[in-house]
Amino acid sequence: MSVDIHADAVGVGICSPRHTGPFVDWLAMSFPPEVQVELLERKLQELIHPDHLILSPGMNGYHQSYRNEGKTVRLAVAGGHEGMGPHLEITGKACDRYEEDLRELMDWALWHDAKFSRLDLTLDEPVGVLDLNEIVSSLGTGGCVSKFRKAPRVESFYHSQTGELTGQIVRFGSRTSKVSIRFYDKALQQGEDFHWLRVELELKAEVAQQVVKDWLSGVSLGNQFWGILSSYLSFRRPTEDNNRSRWPVEPWWQLFLDQGPKSSFHIRSEPPKDDLDWFLNGYDKVLARAARKFGPHVFQEMVESGERKLQEQSLH
């Protein structure tokens, strides 16, 4: 992450991360099997120029993959079964490098029915509003109120020879959660001597899909970042009230939330399973492939077979 040098009103140099709002820090998506790898590779070269993609070992259930020299762009191919189309991952360094082109890539991917499996939104806090020690202290007093079932974890890392603290992360949610949040001291990790706290949201499955769609339809990443963060996590001062949601919000947490827009976030529910549009959108390609392979008459045979099974069930 590059760092800019700014000067304040009295001319003192201040270091801070160059990002001034939430940004995409990881992106992963899977395409339908009918999307050709050659088409996807051409689009990658057109948009983000990841340099030459080298044939590499497989990953995540795929037999092969293509990766650039820095391994920041990975395209998995040759899935373990016919339902696995190409899978694309763009890591943090590549997201930073190709930041201006990510939106167009996402739009193109959605047009080709891609499913976003992971999206990381990151915010840098460079002025000292948030302090990792205050977050850890709030955990100790039971002041953390969240939607996560799993208890938060504090992970510390030390130099193997000197024993010096080299990193610290506070995690909320599991890595398999649809939403997980982490805070860590980026300055300590990078060996810098100024304040640089990083806040990351790791979004999976339908949450990642929803955020991408909303962003492309005009909802800012800022609104979504602050909406998710404030909906899932809060730090409060414990009182005798049994209802923790009525505890007063810690001033430092409220001050941090005030840095962004006041917004909320709700995961939109899926259409009911007996909805016709859901059925057509979910199974039209499967049925088309079946018709190509076996002929359209197979559907009538399936209906007749299903009717017989339903009648047999009703007799028992």
Per-residue pLDDT of the chain (316 residues; tens, 9 = 90+): 333 433 333 333 345 566 678 999 999 999 999 998 888 888 888 877 666 788 888 888 899 888 888 888 899 998 878 889 999 999 988 898 888 889 999 999 999 999 999 999 999 998 889 999 999 999 999 999 999 988 999 888 888 788 887 788 999 998 789 999 999 989 888 888 888 999 999 999 999 999 999 999 999 999 999 999 999 999 999 999 989 889 999 999 999 999 998 888 888 876 555 567 656 766 777 788 788 888 888 888 888 888 887 777 666 5
Residue 18's pLDDT is 65
Residue 273's pLDDT is 55
The whole-angstrom separation of Cα 302 and Cα 285 is 17
What are the distances in angstroms from CA 108 to CA 43, 114, 189, 213, 288? 9, 9, 35, 12, 23
Residue 52's pLDDT is 77
For residue 281, give both structure tokens: 């959108």
The whole-angstrom separation of Cα 20 and Cα 225 is 13
Are 33 and 212 contacting, i.e. CB atoms less than 8 angstroms apart? no
Question: Interior CA angle at 284 toward 279 and 290, to 5°?
Answer: 125
Compute the 3-state secondary structure of the chain and give helix, strand, coil in percent, each to the nearest 5. Answer: 35, 30, 35
Residue 292's pLDDT is 84
Residue 275's pLDDT is 64
Which residues lie below 8 Å from residue 98, measured CB to CB, with a gap of 6+?
47, 48, 49, 50, 90, 105
For residue 54, what is the enclosing H or E element? strand 54-57
For residue 108, what is the enclosing H or E element? helix 102-111
Angular region, 132: left φ>0, alpha ψ -120 to 50, beta rest: alpha
Q: Number of helices (H) and strands (E) in the chain: give both, helices first.
A: 10, 14
What are the distances in angstroms from CA 2 to CA 163, 176, 187? 28, 30, 12
Burial class, 89, CB count within 10 angstroms (exposed 0-12 / middle 13-18 / buried 19+): buried
Residue 13's pLDDT is 37
SS3 287: helix
The whole-angstrom separation of Cα 145 and Cα 264 is 16
Kindly report the pTM of this predicted structure.
0.78
Which residue type sits at 258?
Answer: D
For residue 78, give both structure tokens: 């040759």
Q: Which residues pair with 199 in a beta bridge?
A: 123, 183
Q: What is the DSSP string of 181-245?
A: EEEEEHHHHHT-SS--EEEEEEEEHHHHHHHHHHHHTT--HHHHHHHHHHHHEEEB---S-S-GG
